[in-house]
Structures are given as structure tokens and as C-alpha cells.
Amino acid sequence: MALSSSISSSLCKPSSQNAHSPDYNSNKIFNSRCGPFSSLHQFPIFKMGYGCQWGRRKSSSTPLISASLMDVSLDKSKEKVQLPKGDIWSVHKFGGTCVGTSERIKNVAEIIVGDDSERKLVVVSAMSKVTDMMYDLIYKAQSRDDSYLSAVDDVLEKHILTAHDLLDGDDLDIFSSRLHHDINEIKEMLRAIYIAGHATELFSDIIVGHGELWSAQMLSSVIRKKGVDCQWMDTRDVLIVNPTSANQVDPDFVESEMRLEKWFSQGPSKTIVATGFIASTPQNIPTTLKRDGSDFSAAIMGALFRAGQVTIWTDVDGVYSADPKKVADAVILNKLSYQEAWEMVNLIAPLLCLKSYFGANVLHPRTIIPVMQYDIPIVIRNFLNLSAPGTMICRPSIDENEGSQHLDSPVKGFATIDNVALVNVEGTGMAGVPGTASAIFSAVKDVGANVIMISQASSEHSVCFAVPEKEVEAVAGALQSRFRQALDAGRLSQVAVVPNCSILATVGQKMASTPGVSASLFSALAKANVNIRAIAQGCSEYNITVVVKREDCIRALKAVHSRFYLSRTTIAMGIVGPGLIGGTLLDQLRDQAAVLKEDFNIDLRVMGITGSNTMLLSDSGIDLSRWRELVKEEGEVADMQKFINRVHGNHFIPNTVLVDCTADSNVASHYYEWLRKGIHVITPNKKANSGPLDQYLKLRALQRESYTHYFYEATVGAGLPIISTLRGLLETGDKILRIEGIFSGTLSYIFNNFKGTRSFSEVVSEAKQAGYTEPDPRDDLSGTDVARKVIILARESGLKLELSDTPVQSLVPEPLRAAASAEEFMQQLPQYDKDMAKQLQDAEDAGEVLRYVGVVDVINQKGLVELRRYRKDHPFAQLSGSDNIIAFTTARYKNQPLIVRGPGAGAQVTAGGIFSDVLRLASYLGAPS
């Protein structure tokens, strides 16, 4: 608003030209020198000789649109028009982005004209960036930077160009004349600031408020051009606020309502375009609702009109369940209660895809207050996507409050604040001493710091609170100074600062009195290997706030968002060993990926594949439809450390699993390190669990103490549930007496086919050609692989056995164990067929069969691997092909052992066993079961 238009000429009425201008409202009355702005002369800037320039306006032949404050002494004899209130009014608020260009202003007009509400109030901000430009003018002027003059011209040019696009005829002439007049007066005010080297709050408020005045006038003209009766309102004539000491203002609803009645009686209209952000004090001094106050303006006006709805138009589809830049699967929330919005309001910037709360453009923290009293819903809509219904903030219905029949998550959304530091004041002298907390926060207040979160244990031994990181140094210094005597005397032990933190808030009205919400939240964080540094929850139970390391923030956000069914359970996978088993697993993942996403809400992303020589890495996930080609085309030299860092280093995916499909003991030696880093491990590799006992015990102890998972079902029975069956027996209190089984699919095939007149070497050769054996059959015939499985089961049963403690009957003839190659071994093996033929004949003569078995004798605490004979009616004699069979003799299954039987070898079933472990991990991490 131009100052000279507020401090009027000595005439107490507008010129006839003004009165008849298309953009003039009859309620706009110039104030005399003894009117509302007479008090301005008490401010220092008016005592410097400049006040006379703005004290009165010379008459001009050019029509001007008045932006004056309403004279409180309106002619009471004038017939008043009663202001209708209630649901007939709809309030719309358009931010700077929505009116940022002439084209967007036209779009706003279309929205208003298209609204079929009986009456409409439109609250507008300044055009995009204009408020920042106005503040910049003030800063440059008080810094005595002459470039403020050219910057003023930029403001003028922006609005002139926009007006020429929107207006024509008298509307354009009137607006242009007024705009130039306002700009000239702004230059005069900036000149005064330039000379003084200081800008008062009054001058700043007057200058920055012009942007809203100009955008409101242009929009009202555009709406009138469409044939709609429309007036524009300078809300300084209506909205009265009382400034507080906290750089805020409190609306005076009683006085504002009176002034609104008077304003409306002078110029009734069914469509009103009102300025956001600006207001007046009870002394009629211009002021603002402070930064981002247009939302607050709309809510206040909605309350004054008792409107049916307040719609806040922005550039996103609504309020998200989490920042979609951090959580790709964040969803638009259809509804929020006032209480939920209240909890989220200071964190709502990231939910609206805007900047952080501190110093940014967000939903004004007090927007909800005025509308709550009258149950007026607020709707967040997307100006750029009118088809999106947006998010409604309202009082929940009775059905929603009692919605026990609904399966909705009790959590509505999550938000984060970065760049936070924790301050911890602790000492035994704090307990039971009244006033300690008061002294702490008084010191914080004295340095002007904002406390975001407070946490204190009932022991009163310490008080912990979070502040913006940029303020923590001043806070720590103030506390050190304030409690110097207590620190020196030992009553306080320390004032500690924990930098590089982030806050994660979980909000939902249904969290109140819902058991298990906190447990689920903390469990999800633990499973994502996120450490919580501080916790706060109010007794309303609508908000649980935790403080975590800054580098853990996104992982934490993804983990909790996934846990409460608001997004998929996403796991970053690294595949070590893309050979036969690993390659088959990758193909299975490829074939099942879409089904897992759509039907089971599981997103498995392979971020890396590494062999012994080459590895392939990706930041977003490898295309499994052509992973073999990509390894050849884009593969790089294998580097295990780099591989781990890339797969685990993606903070946008909360959980990482490494799948070791090798039989390499060197790879297995890394498991402990990976688990300590919070990386889950899944493997068919037997080396870790059958290796040195002390390393195995260390690995299992770590697994039990942490939330990282180590799954190895495929180490014993490929795809058969051997480990899980054993654990189920033990966990339900059964006692294992003996485990006996045919654990090798290769040896099962050999002895199932070694019968009649067939020679042993012939059957081994057949098995090798069929792909059942290792490249060197001695690896199978030695019995070492079976021995490792026996040791794994023995250790699972509680026995502390080393591999060397287990006697193993090798089927490799002693002279052939040193054969130079597999080919040489196969050539010489027929020489020893007689020994095996005799054993077969002896068994057949007794009505028995030969089977190569492993035995865990829990009672005698030993294991053994040997070739045994079984009656032909024994379950072990009934096998065919490469099936495995394992018999569990327990206290419950003593007379008739529990038997697990099925294919125990082959790439498909082994990869399937690994895949099953991956899905079990996903279930543990929060995927629906």
C-alpha cells in the first residue's frame, strides 16, 4: 500500500474520478490527517523531514484506486447491508506460485468463476518471488546499496508486463497509474531508509504489503471481465491483530468482525478478492501476519464469514504420508483431523514437497486455530492438477473416531527435520531441585533459540532437548555460563552437544490408546539398524518423535513408512556368486518381481552382482531381464569393499541383504562384519556354520543380540525345510535325540541307482554326466559336504562340535585321493569296483540296501558320516532320483521319527530355498504375511 494513499489529502472524500472508476469500491474512504495514520508521525522516520511528503496527496487528474485503511468513523446514518454468513461462503487462498504469472492469474479466475458456491472470498498472496523482492529492497536500502533503485524498477516491470497481459482499457490505465504512484512512494520510503541506514518494522510492513495489494487488484479486474460481480478488499481495513512479543500476532476477532460488517455494508458483493498477509493494529497501523501469513489470513477470514470450507491452493496434490522425495511410495492422505494437522503443522513443509520448516514457505503454524472453532474444513488442493481431490483437514466423524472396524493404519504420516542438534544437561544435582528446567529453558530463550523437542526421564538426572544446529553453539555457551557454578561444584556433570541429528515424527490420531504402535515403530527402526538417541511423546499419544543420526534419517523414514503398510517393504540386495545357483536365483527374482510388488507389497531391488572377477553395480536396481548382458557390457573389476559400500550405501532403501551363493570360505569370513553393519545375510554356503566353532558361536551371538538376520536354510536341504523344522521343534520345547538322514542329493542318486549288475564307477559316471556331481566327483564322494551338514545340524541342536570331531567314511579309494585331475580319477575308478560290488552284494543278500548317511547323535554328543545298510521297508530305502530324507527322533517323535523328504539337490530347488529365506526376511521387516 502506498503511504500517501493511506495518509490522504486534507479532503475526507475521494475525487469523483476515483469514485466512478471501475476498480473503486464505495467503501474505500480516504482518511484525514487526524485519521488512522496520524499516529505514524510518532515514529522516528517521520521526524526526519520526510513525513511532510507523505502527509497529504496533491489532487490529480489521473484516476487512482485507493488502498486506504477504513475510517473507523463511517457514516452511521448510511444504510447498512447485513453481511450474510455461513456455508454459502467458500474461501479460496492462492499462494504466490498460483498467481506467479499472467497465465496463472487467468487460471485462478477460471477456478473462481467455476466454483458454484453462492458466495466466494478469495485470498491472494503477492506474485511469486515479489515478497522476497520487496524484502530485498529494504535490505539493500538500509545497507546503502544504490542498486535498490534498479531493483524497484524490476518490481515495476514485473507488474506492468503482467497487467498488460491481463487488463485493457480503463482497468489497465487505472492500475498502471496507481502502480506507478505506489512505486514512486516506495522509492521515497526506501530513500528515507537509505539515509537512516535502518528500516523500522512499520516501514518494512508497509513496503512488503504492496505485493498483495497489486495481485488482488489485478485478479479482481480479471474476474470482473468474465462478467462476475467482484470487489477487492484491502484486509487492513478489516483484519485487526495485536502484535505479541514472540514475533507473532493475535487476531482480534471481535473488532475484525465489526469492521467486516462495516466494510461489507459499503460495498456488498458475492465475490470478494482479499489481500493475504497484511492487516492492521487496533491503532490502525499497518502490519503483517509475518512470513507465510496468507494461509493464516484465509483461515481468519473463513472464521469471520463462518465459511463452509477453506481451500488452500498450492502446487502439490495434497498432504503426503511422507516426503515423496525421500519415500517414493508416499501416498496422498485423503483426510487429516485437526489434531493430526496440529501435530504435523510444524513439520508439514516436507509433506507438501516444499522446503524445510525453518524460514521456508509452509502452511502457517496457526492456520488451523481459527477454523477449528467453527468446524470449518481446510482442503489442500493442487492448482496444477484440478482432478486431484486433495487432502481435507477436518473434525473426524463419530464413525471415524470409533473406527475399530476399519483396518486403516493408526499412523497417518511421517515427517522429518534435518540439521538438528541435541543438547543434554545432566547431573545428580538436578534430581528433586525445583526450577532446574526453568533455568535451562530461560537460558535458551535468552539467546533466542527455538526448542523443537524435549525429553526427560523420571529420574530427573538429565534433560535433553533438540534445537536447530545453527543455534546450538549459542545455546551451549549460554548454558555453560548459566550453570558454571553448578558445573564447577559437580552438581551438574556436563552440558553435552550431539550434532548431526535429525528428527523423525510419527503422527496419527488413532495412535491414541492403540497398543503396539510404539513397539512397531521402534521395532522397524531396530530392524533397519537405526539407533534412537532421544524419544518424546505427549500424553495425547498423537505424536511420537525420535531423534536419530542425520545419515540414518532417510533409512529410518523408509523403514517406519514401510512398517505401517503405507508403502512396499523395499530391500536392497547384493548377489555374491552369479554362477549356477546365483544365476538361477536372479532369474527367479526376475520372474516373480511384479507379483511380489503388486500382491505382496515387496520390492526386491538387486543393487549389485559380483563374481570373483567382475561386478555390476546400480544406484536404482539392476534390470534383471538382461543382467547377464549388463555384466558383460557394464561390469567392472570386482572389489568386495566397493561392492558392499554401494549396495548398503543407498539411504533411500532402509534394509540391505547380501546373498552369498558361493562355496567360498573367504566370502563366509565377512559375514560377521556385514551383520555388524546392519546388513542381513542369506546363504547356502556351509563354510561359516561348519567352520571353526569359536567363529560360529561369535556369529550366532551377534545374530541374537542384534536385529540383523542371518538365514541359511539352504545350507542343509537345499529347498527342504530342515533348519526351520529343527528350530520349530526346539523352540516349542521338544528334545532332539537323534537326526539321521541322506543329506547329499548326489549320493542319493548314486546309491538309488547302484543295484543289480551295475558297477559303482558306471553309476558315478552317469551322475557326473547328468550334472548331479561337482566337476570333480571326489568332492561328493569324500563325504565332506555331508559332514558339514551334520555339523550344522549338530550345532543347531546345541552340540559344540568341530568338523574334525566327526568321523567321515570317504568313498574315494585311498590311492585315488591324490589323482591329478577329475579325468584321471574317473579313468582309474573302475579298478576299485569290486570293493563296492561286494558291499552291495552283502546288503542284497540280507534284504537290505546301501545308503550314505549322516548322523547326529545328540544323546552321545557326536556326529558321524558313513555308508550304512537299511532294510528294504525302511523309509531311507524308498527314495528315488536325487531325493533327500531326514528323520528327526525326539522326545515327542520317539517311536516314529518325524521325516522330511524331497529333492535335495539342483539349482532350481536350491535357489528356491534361498528365495524363501529372502521372503522370510521381508516378512520380518514388515511385509504383510
What residues are labeled active site? 789
Distance between CA atoms of residues 248 and 260, nearest Å: 22
Residue type, 509: Q
Other CB atoms within 10 Å distance of the CB of residue 890: 18
Of 242, 264, 265, which is closest to residue 254 (Cα–Cα)? Answer: 242
Q: Helices 169-196 and 210-225, interaxial angle, to 10°?
A: 180
Strand ranges (E), 101-164: 119-124
| CB-count burial class (<10 Å; 0-12, 13-18, 19+) for 129 | middle
Of 656, 662, 615, 607, which is closest to residue 638 (Cα–Cα)? Answer: 615
Of 475, 462, 476, which is closest to residue 429 (Cα–Cα)? Answer: 462
Of 274, 64, 275, 25, which is closest to residue 176 (Cα–Cα)? Answer: 64
Cell of 775: 566337476
Distance between CA atoms of residues 574 and 656, nearest Å: 8
Of 313, 448, 288, which is closest to residue 391 (Cα–Cα)? Answer: 313
Helix residue ranges per DSSP H, 209-344: 210-225, 253-266, 294-305, 338-344
**145-154 contact pairs (CB < 8 A, 24+):** 148/190, 148/194, 149/187, 152/183, 152/186, 152/187, 152/190
Maximum distance among all Cα pairs of the chain, rounded to whole angstroms: 131
Distance between CA atoms of residues 668 and 756, nearest Å: 42
Distance between CA atoms of residues 695 and 612, nearest Å: 24
Distance between CA atoms of residues 853 and 748, nearest Å: 9
DSSP 787-810: HHHHHHHHHHTT----GGGS-B--
Count how many residues are written for the chain.
929
Dihedral angle, C-alpha 711, 714, 720, 726, nearest 10 °: -50
Cα torsion angle, 905, 907, 909, 913, sign: positive
Distance between CA atoms of residues 890 and 858, nearest Å: 10
Of 787, 812, 811, 817, which is closest to residue 801 (Cα–Cα)? Answer: 787
Of 256, 319, 310, which is closest to residue 284 (Cα–Cα)? Answer: 256
Q: Are 105 and 119 in contact (CB under 8 A)?
A: no
Cell of 311: 481451500
Helix residue ranges per DSSP H, 528-636: 553-563, 580-600, 627-634
Cell of 42: 510518532
DSSP 856-914: EETTTTEEEEEEEEEETTSGGGG--TTEEEEEEEESSSSSS-EEEEEE--SHHHHHHHH
Of 112, 23, 33, 3, which is closest to residue 65 (Cα–Cα)? Answer: 23
- Pairing state of beta strands 736-742 and 848-857? antiparallel
> Integer distance in angstroms from the first to the last C-alpha of the chain?
62
